């Protein structure tokens, strides 16, 4: 009997808005049953959109649908297009070794072609990873040194100079208050010229 988990392909297309200067990369979306919208960072208990709400609107609830446990997809997409944030993940296909959303139990079967993403983003010079698995995968893909959490390193990749930031995970499993995470994200967004 074969007990190897099935290969799961990425359920979303890369979000690559015209003029984006920042490419944010997670590891891979959680299982669909955890989604509160059809977009990146869809898990209701993931704080990515609350961090952005704090930083850009001084309101952690800005992207939430009042009275519901979901994010407002249109508001999130409009924000990313206006500010210039592209989104995807460092893996295009994975195996979930324990069937959950934990990065610790993800096997990357097919890493994302980061150079191809960048070719569609001519103004992008900042790449951001939002967790340990994403950071390790990206370092392998682009051959760049691993920055400390909340810091960046600079490297050459895909015929351009890249500033690679490693941010704390927006997952609540990462032991840091939302406000402290927001402070670190503010440094990165400020350096990228979008905040």
Judge whether 91 and 108 are in contact, CB under 8 Å. yes
The rounded Cα 102 to chain-centroid distance in angstroms is: 15
What does residue 37 show for φ and ψ, rounded to 5 degrees?
-165, 165
pLDDT 10s digit of each residue in the chain, 195 long?
567 788 999 999 999 999 999 999 999 999 999 999 999 999 999 999 999 999 999 999 999 999 999 999 999 999 999 999 999 999 999 998 876 656 777 899 999 999 999 999 999 999 999 999 999 999 999 999 999 999 999 999 999 999 999 999 998 888 899 999 999 999 999 999 999
Q: Is 77 helix (H, G, I), strand (E, B) or coil?
A: helix
Out of 3.40.470.10, 2.60.120.380, 3.20.20.70, 3.30.950.10, the CATH code matching 18-191 is 3.40.470.10
pLDDT in the model for residue 49: 98
What pTM was estimated for this model as a whole?
Answer: 0.94
The reported pLDDT for the residue numbered 2 is: 60
Domain ranges of the chain: 18-191
The pLDDT value given to residue 105: 77
**Which is nearest to 183 in space by CA: 162, 167, 172?**
167
Asked whether the beta carbons of 85 and 18 are under 8 A apart, the reply is no
CB-based contacts of 13, cutoff 8 Å, min separation 6: none
């Amino acid at each position: 009997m074969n007990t190897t988990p099935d290969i799961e392909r990425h359920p979303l297309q890369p979000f690559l808005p015209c003029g984006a200067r920042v490419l944010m990369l997670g590891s891979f979306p959680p299982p669909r049953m955890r989604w509160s919208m059809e977009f990146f960072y869809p898990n209701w208990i993931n704080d990515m959109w609350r961090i952005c709400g704090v930083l850009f609107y001084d309101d952690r609830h800005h992207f939430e649908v009042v009275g519901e446990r979901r994010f407002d997809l249109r508001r999130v997409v409009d924000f990313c297009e206006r500010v210039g944030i592209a989104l995807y993940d460092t893996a295009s296909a994975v195996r979930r070794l324990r069937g959950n959303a934990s990065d610790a139990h993800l096997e990357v079967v097919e890493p994302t072609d980061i150079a191809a993403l960048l070719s569609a983003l001519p103004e992008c010079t900042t790449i951001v990873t939002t967790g340990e698995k994403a950071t390790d995968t990206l370092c392998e893909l682009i051959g760049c040194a691993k920055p400390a959490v909340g810091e960046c390193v600079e490297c050459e990749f895909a015929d351009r100079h890249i500033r690679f930031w490693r941010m704390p995970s927006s997952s609540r499993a990462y032991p840091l208050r939302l406000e402290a995470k927001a402070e670190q994200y503010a440094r990165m967004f400020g350096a990228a010229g979008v905040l």
